Amino acid sequence: MRVGIIGAGQLARMMLEDASALGIAATVLADAPDDGAAQTCADVIIGAAADEAGVRMLASRCDVLTLDHELVDLALLSRLESEGVVVHPPTEALRFAVDKAEMRRHLGAAGLPMPNHAILEPGEASDLAALGTQLGWPLVIKAARGGYDGKGVFVVEDPEAAAATIDDLHRAGITALVEEAVAIDHELAALVARRADGQIVAWPVVETAQVGGVCREVVIPGVLSPEVAAHAEQIAREVAELVGVVGVMAVELFATHDGLVINELAMRPHNSGHWTQDGSVTSQFENHLRAVLGLPLGATEVTAAAVASINVFGGDDAVDLDEALHRALAEPRAHVHLYGKTPRPGRKLGHVTVVGDNGAEVRAAAWTAAVALGTPVPAEMEVEIR
Ligand code: ADP
């Protein structure tokens, strides 16, 4: 079996590790030869995710196409599907991860819980003062397509700022999703894997500690009540069934004092699930491959009492990662996962996971290794370094 991955970032790179273990061959479609997964894959096609010739070459070599990111050309993938190419997740599902407005419409029609919102297509005018009064100021305005890590999310305080932001999006031909600013108690991620025949497995729901729209850490056990976690998992299972995803899907949710609302969907392995590599019976990367290839899905239980996974970011000071690795691995329990990227301030370079008996201990150990790799500790977080 050969799997073709559109995009060659860190998610593809980590899928390749599990593909190797299972004896599955892989080809990646990479923007550049130094992309994370292009560095480690034996078969690389250079081309953009929307480059028809590149995607067709990938399809011709592989049994199934899957993806590393959602900045793909849906129309192209849909044409390939009609020609018999297997794309997992199928474009009928993928469109709800690619386009937040489509996702809000579809999940809203099914009665799933979501923030109050309005969808403004390019060319569509709206009374923003009235909309602001209805949803409450400030408003959260999002690019329906193309955003990631909080890029494409804007908080606006008044009708003038809202109009300027929406105009910018509309001029670029992008639909604006206008949402109420949710009073968030916790941001959660519910991770599932689904096969084409409908089998679904779910990992434990986690809280994602976010700073500036970027996940910084996941710690198990977290502070979520079993009831909230169970509800989040049930929502994720319902969404997976409703959209017909094949592969791994993360449902990002906000927990508020009124209950859960869905923020967005990711149809690929997700940053909130990197802990599964070292802390679960089956990693999200392995189950993604199993799901897209129609293999039986693996068990998703946590294998220890506590797991902490901390993202590694570039800081302002230049760090030699080879040298920093010596310091990070002085923490003997640290599982270091680096993505093959050159450090730059704010760039996500990898993650460190520690598994053990005690939440506070594994968190401190993982942070110690992440800081040794140059990760700045955000002012918003309290962190114990050994
Ligand atoms: P991206 O697709 O770039 O990850 P998200 O839609 O996940 O963007 O939004 C990024 C972050 O912005 C979220 O993690 C959350 O902290 C905040 N956010 C998004 N939507 C809302 C909202 N309606 N109310 C309050 N905060 C929000």
Question: When comparing pLDDT for 213 and 373, which is higher?
Answer: 373
> Do 264 and 310 lie in a common domain?
yes
Look up residue 178 and give its amino acid. V
Other CB atoms closer than 10 Å to residue 386's CB: what's the count? Answer: 12
**Which residue among 103, 116, 140, 153 is best mutated to probe the pocket of ligand 1, counting the most ligand atoms within 8 A of its Cβ?**
153
What gap in Å lies between CA 279 and CA 368, rounded to an integer? 18
Q: Residue 308 falls within a domain, yes or no?
A: yes
Last residue of a domain, one of 150, 180, 210: 180
> Do 209 and 137 lie in a common domain?
no
What gap in Å lies between CA 138 and CA 133, rounded to an integer? 10
Q: Residue 105 falls within a domain, yes or no?
A: no
**Which residue among 149, 263, 264, 348 is best mutated to probe the pocket of ligand 1, counting the most ligand atoms within 8 A of its Cβ?**
263
Residue 136 CB–ligand 1 contact under 6 Å: no
Start-to-end Cα distance in the chain: 45
The pLDDT value recorded for residue 125 is 85
> Do 155 and 267 lie in a common domain?
no
Of residues 299, 296, 249, 238, the one with CA closest to residue 66: 249
What would the pLDDT profile of 304-339 be if each residue is shown by its tens digit? 999 999 999 999 998 999 999 999 999 999 999 999
What's the whole-number mean pLDDT along residues 340-357? 97
Structure tokens at 90: 């199928």
> Do 255 and 300 lie in a common domain?
yes
Q: Residue 99 falls within a domain, yes or no?
A: no
Q: Residue 281 falls within a domain, yes or no?
A: yes
Please, is 53 exposed, middle or buried when counting C-beta atoms within 10 Å of its C-beta (0-12, 13-18, 19+)? exposed
Last residue of a domain, one of 163, 180, 197: 180
The pLDDT value recorded for residue 151 is 86
Residue 208 CB–ligand 1 contact under 6 Å: no
What would the pLDDT profile of 16-62 be if each residue is shown by its tens digit? 999 999 999 999 999 999 999 999 999 999 999 999 999 999 999 99
Q: What residues pair up with 189 in beta bridges, in sequence order?
A: 206, 252
Q: What is the CATH number of the domain that holds 149?
A: 3.30.1490.20
Last residue of a domain, one of 162, 180, 198: 180
Residue 46 CB–ligand 1 contact under 6 Å: no
Residue 138 CB–ligand 1 contact under 6 Å: no
What would the pLDDT profile of 160-192 be if each residue is shown by its tens digit? 999 999 999 999 999 999 999 999 999 999 999
Instruction: Give the total number of structural domains in the chain.
Output: 3
Q: Residue 362 falls within a domain, yes or no?
A: yes
DSSP three-state, residue 26: strand
The pLDDT value recorded for residue 377 is 96
- The residue whose CA is least distant from atom 17 of ligand 1 is 213
The pLDDT value recorded for residue 203 is 98
Residue 301 has pLDDT above 90, yes or no: yes
Q: In angstroms, what is the span from residue 264 Cα to ligand 1's centroid? A: 8
What's the whole-number mean pLDDT along residues 345-360? 97
The pLDDT value recorded for residue 386 is 87
> Do 165 and 307 lie in a common domain?
no
> Do 121 and 270 lie in a common domain?
no
| Cα 143 versus chain centre, distance | 17
Residue 89 CB–ligand 1 contact under 6 Å: no
> Do 225 and 359 lie in a common domain?
yes
DSSP three-state, residue 341: coil
What gap in Å lies between CA 220 and CA 61, rounded to an integer? 40
**pLDDT-based confidence at residue 148 (cuts at 50, 70, 90):** confident
Residue 146 CB–ligand 1 contact under 6 Å: no
Residue 150 has pLDDT above 90, yes or no: no
Of residues 367, 316, 379, the one with CA closest to residue 344: 316
Q: Residue 386 falls within a domain, yes or no?
A: no
> Do 242 and 308 lie in a common domain?
yes
Q: Which residues of 313-333 are buried (b: 16+ CB within 10 A; e: fewer)?
A: bbbeeebebeebeeebeebeb
What gap in Å lies between CA 27 and CA 181, rounded to an integer? 42
Q: What is the CATH number of the domain that holds 271?
A: 3.30.470.20
> The domain containing residue 8 runs over which residues?
2-87
> Do 206 and 294 lie in a common domain?
yes
Sign of the dihedral defined by the CA atoms of residues 265, 345, 341, 303, in that order: negative
- Closest ligand 1 atom to 152 CA: 3
> Do 340 and 214 lie in a common domain?
yes
> Do 136 and 72 lie in a common domain?
no
Q: What is the dihedral of CA 212, 186, 133, 166, to 10 degrees?
A: 30
The pLDDT value recorded for residue 30 is 98
Peptide bond preceding 89: is omega within 30 degrees of 0, i.e. cis? Answer: yes
> Do 135 and 251 lie in a common domain?
no
DSSP three-state, residue 361: helix
Q: In angstroms, what is the span from residue 351 Cα to ligand 1's centroid? A: 22
Q: What residues pair up with 264 in beta bridges, in sequence order?
A: 252
- Closest ligand 1 atom to 182 CA: 24
Q: In angstroms, what is the span from residue 263 Cα to ligand 1's centroid? A: 7
Q: Residue 94 falls within a domain, yes or no?
A: no
* 322 CB-near residues (< 8 Å, 6+ apart): none
- Closest ligand 1 atom to 254 CA: 15
What would the pLDDT profile of 208-226 be if each residue is shown by its tens digit? 999 988 999 999 999 999 9
Q: State percent of the chain over pLDDT 90.
A: 97
Look up residue 251 and give its amino acid. V
Please, is 109 exposed, middle or buried when counting C-beta atoms within 10 Å of its C-beta (0-12, 13-18, 19+)? exposed
What's the whole-number mean pLDDT along residues 139-168? 94
- The residue whose CA is least distant from atom 9 of ligand 1 is 150
Q: In angstroms, what is the span from residue 152 Cα to ligand 1's centroid? A: 9
Q: Residue 151 falls within a domain, yes or no?
A: yes
DSSP H helices in the chain: 10-22, 52-61, 74-82, 91-98, 100-109, 128-135, 159-171, 226-243, 276-279, 284-293, 321-328, 359-372
What's the whole-number mean pLDDT along residues 66-95? 97
Q: In angstroms, what is the span from residue 361 Cα to ligand 1's centroid? A: 30
* 66 CB-near residues (< 8 Å, 6+ apart): 3, 4, 5, 6, 15, 87, 88, 89, 247, 268, 288, 292
Identify the residue whose tokens are 């990197």: 274
